[in-house]
Amino acid sequence: MSKYKYFPIIKTRDAELRCFEHIKSDIFDKILPIYELTKSRKSLKAPDGDIFRRMQQIKKIQNGRPFILDLTTDEKYINPQIKQLLSEQDGFWNWRHFFNESHRDLNIIPMVHIYEDDDRGFEEVINFVRNVSSYKQNLAVRLPYELNEDEIVYYLEPIINNLSEDCKLYVFLDAGYIRKDAKESLHDISKTFIRSARAVNRFARKIDDLVILSTSFPSSPATEGGHDSDGSFIIYEESIYHTVKKELNNIKYGDYASINTEQIEMKGGTFVPRIDIALKDGDTFIYKRYRRNEGSYIRCAKEILTDPRYMNYHGWSDEEILSASEDNPSGISPAYWISVRMHYYITTRVNLRSLY
């Protein structure tokens, strides 16, 4: 098992990267992030959103630390460059050239991309694994968490069998957004994770870490919390992790860093200012939410600071909340406060994982 305590997976959008720019070294050293590469903002020079700009941002953020690099398949965030990297031709030649030539100065752990129901594609996966594992110490693969044992063996065995002797795998079992199901059956989700993880453990000799991934951050916290201006809601991925961990001690924790994977992009003027923080117990989010004519982010921040449940970790997110409470918010957009929420949340996850 590796030294890493926490595995956040994020898309390389402005809000997420802004958060990661401000994570302190003592926290960052304990996490291994998974960046799902997306296009950058469109510009006159790059109407499709150049991915090389995103890679330069990642390089600055990581500062030599290792990270896992994945590629988005979401139509909202993909562009022709990414589609080219996803091509399986010649053992994913474009993908290999991207991380081993164009960005060889970065400490990249590449994601293995699997094509379902495509025999030729799977042959190319094997070619990719053989080639890349000859010079990389680690590869990563992400699988749906609900695969049965036979399916997990079907996908993992060819990868494991074609790794070089010195290369190991990070395996992620991904449930995506779980809130709509978690309300009904945390037990069933946990049971499915346990079943899948046991199947993966057949290959434990070649696996560095086995990580479960999910997110339960709601698309509408106020609806979930039941109150317009002040409420709370449960972080389901924590309880699922603890249930799985009781059965399988080698499991590690990952999530989407408080991002809702089904989130709706906010249009200007349609949002209500809101600040969310995760509580020290790890199981709960609280929020303060006030319309612009009721005090906006300034009032939200003041209410957070006077809430006895708030804990000051003396990080960037705390500084931003304090600054806003003093009538000087650094940002007044939802995306900016998503960055603040993520930063505070990541701090709480690392602190929690350090307890076990």
Are the C-beta atoms of 70 and 35 separated by less than 8 Å?
Answer: yes
pLDDT number for residue 354: 79
Q: What is the DSSP letter of 206?
A: G
- Decide: pTM greater than 0.85: yes
Instruction: Please tell me the distance from the alpha carbon of residue 153 to that of residue 199, in angstroms, as a whole number.
Output: 7
Tokens describing residue 72: 């988005």
pLDDT number for residue 334: 94
**Topology annotation, domain 6-218+234-265+334-353:** TIM Barrel (3.20.20)
Q: What share of the chain is helix, strand, coil (3-state, %, to 5)?
A: 45, 20, 35
Instruction: Please tell me the distance from the alpha carbon of residue 98 to that of residue 81, in angstroms, as a whole number.
Output: 10
pLDDT number for residue 257: 96
Question: Which residue is listed with tokens 């209500």?
Answer: 272
State the Cα angle at 262 between 240 and 77, rounded to 5°. 125
Are the C-beta atoms of 201 and 252 separated by less than 8 Å?
Answer: no
Per-residue pLDDT tens digits of the chain, which is 356 residues long = 889 999 999 999 999 999 999 999 999 999 999 999 998 866 555 555 689 999 999 999 999 999 999 999 988 889 999 999 999 999 999 999 999 999 999 999 999 998 765 555 589 999 999 999 999 999 999 999 999 999 999 999 999 999 999 999 999 999 999 987 766 688 999 999 999 999 999 999 999 999 999 999 998 899 888 898 999 999 999 999 999 999 999 999 999 999 998 755 555 557 899 999 999 988 999 999 999 999 999 999 999 999 999 999 999 999 999 999 999 999 999 999 999 999 999 999 999 987 65
Are the C-beta atoms of 343 and 19 separated by less than 8 Å?
Answer: yes
Domains of the chain: which residue ranges?
A: 6-218+234-265+334-353
In which order are the strands placed within the sheet that holds 284-289? 230-234, 284-289, 274-278
